Amino acid sequence: MVAAHRPELPEGARTGRTGLAECRDVEISGSAQHEAWQARTLPPVEQLRADLWSIPVPMSGPLRYVSVYVFALDGGGLGLIDTGWNSDEGWTALTEGLASIGAGIADVRGALITHMHPDHNGLSGRVREASGAWIAMHPADVAIIDRPGGRDPEQFVRRQVELLLALGASRADAESDVGRPEEVETIRRTAVPDRLIEDGELADLPGWSLRAVHTPGHTPGHLCFAEERTGLFFAGDHVLPRITPNISTMAGGAPDPLRDYLESLAAVGTTEPDEVLPAHEWRFRGLRSRTDELAAHHERRLGELRDAIRANPGRTAWQLAGYLTWSRPWEQYERHMRIFAVTETDAHLRLLASRGDITGTGSPAPTWTLTVR
């Protein structure tokens, strides 16, 4: 798995224990997707409306695929939400999926990218080369791709090592967990979007009324899209039906990403769209219930972390991650998985600190104790 740009958390490292059984008000509407998931196969290309389709583009890792949404546009041509993971297998799935609906890659006029992760933006460069389409993303995520080191393996590795050192890792652990620049060579090919789209703007997809909803948290520039004509809500990785999206601190990222995420969840949870179309897993109904579940999950996790700090005061994020419950024994965690777990722990620490629940010592690697009130 490519460590660059934080791909999805490996399933074994997920902290989510919020299965569908707990969310009685969440109804699976993508039943073909759900059946395929249980059968461990790729779901079919599906026609969702007269002029809207989903194409599953396979990817490495436990999430298996990203759903690319395809819109037929007034005046001809196609628009996309996300482009999929960059691999020959992914490219074949996307182009064959388009062929199955009577179209081709040259018909694509533009692609809206929910966020910078390589399972969403990976094929953007190939799509743009083959079609001349524009690629649009929120400026906060473009800034991460486009900054010095955003696409430079050496600088990327250096920044990741510095991040882990600042969380309390030894240099040996940090260097072995992050790995070598050669392992993240693919970030050189990351496509830099040529259009920006911000909160509240209507996407340039004629015939559709897709409004961008800035939902920072999973990444600083994550976007959902609310389609005002059909009542459909394209959720990206912000709200998924089965798993909790990974919320972690990142080098040069937001200072308090979990606070951002919970605010973004609350904001979209005030609406109840007809259907939620996420980037992974399956379509569902019941956005409000699902956002409540996700928020409750993080509050439980924050409570667990507070308890760990009470029992083990004066520890770093690196040490505290080892006191939390993970879906497999902590000693079995290694390399990239440990990075996700530690940066996720740090995101929870930062929210506890900004709420005044815990106090950190200064640099280089803060240690944490409960605040005496």
Q: Which spans of this chain sit near Zn ion (rule: CB under 5 A)?
A: 117, 119, 237
Q: Cβ 6 to Zn ion, closest distance in Å?
A: 7
Q: Cβ 280 to Zn ion, closest distance in Å?
A: 6
Q: Measured from the CB atom, is 117 or 259 closer to Zn ion?
A: 117
Q: Cβ 284 to Zn ion, closest distance in Å?
A: 16
Say whether 44 sits in a helix, a strand or coil: coil
Q: Cβ 338 to Zn ion, closest distance in Å?
A: 19
Q: Cβ 337 to Zn ion, closest distance in Å?
A: 16
> Shortest Cβ contact with Zn ion: which residue?
117
Q: Cβ 43 to Zn ion, closest distance in Å?
A: 16
Q: Cβ 241 to Zn ion, closest distance in Å?
A: 13
Peptide bond into 216 cis (omega under 30): no
Q: Which residues pair with 315 in a beta bridge?
A: 368
Where residue 79 falls (left for φ over 0; alpha for ψ -120 to 50; beta otherwise) is beta
Q: Where are the beta strands (DSSP E) in the chain?
A: 27-28, 46-49, 52-58, 65-72, 78-81, 108-112, 134-137, 195-196, 210-214, 223-227, 232-236, 275-278, 284-285, 358-360, 368-370
Q: What are phi and psi of 21, to 5 degrees?
A: -55, -30
Residues 284 and 273: their CA atoms lie apart, in Å, by: 10
Residues 134 and 108: their CA atoms lie apart, in Å, by: 9
Q: Measured from the CB atom, is 9 or 72 closer to Zn ion?
A: 9
Tokens coding 49: 């409306």
Contact 275, 285 (CB under 8 A): yes
Q: Measured from the CB atom, is 281 or 346 closer to Zn ion?
A: 281
Q: Measured from the CB atom, is 83 or 95 closer to Zn ion?
A: 83
Q: Cβ 10 to Zn ion, closest distance in Å?
A: 13
Q: Measured from the CB atom, is 113 or 174 closer to Zn ion?
A: 113
Cα 276 vs. chain centroid, distance in angstroms?
Answer: 16
The 78-81 sheet, strands edge to edge:
46-49, 52-58, 65-72, 78-81, 108-112, 134-137, 195-196
Q: Measured from the CB atom, is 131 or 215 closer to Zn ion?
A: 215
Classify residue 75 by burial, with Cβ atoms within 10 Å: 0-12, 13-18, 19+.
Answer: exposed
Q: Measured from the CB atom, is 117 or 126 closer to Zn ion?
A: 117
Q: Cβ 366 to Zn ion, closest distance in Å?
A: 27
Q: Measured from the CB atom, is 103 or 143 closer to Zn ion?
A: 143
Q: Measured from the CB atom, is 177 or 237 closer to Zn ion?
A: 237
Nearest partner of 279 among 96, 64, 44, 4, judged by Cα:
64
Q: Measured from the CB atom, is 117 or 298 closer to Zn ion?
A: 117
Q: Cβ 236 to Zn ion, closest distance in Å?
A: 7
- Non-local (6+) Cβ contacts of 40 within 8 A are none
Contact 48, 227 (CB under 8 A): no
**How do beta strands 223-227 and 232-236 pair?**
antiparallel
Q: Would you list the DSSP string of 327-354? A: SS-GGG--HHHHHHHHHHHHHHHHHHHH
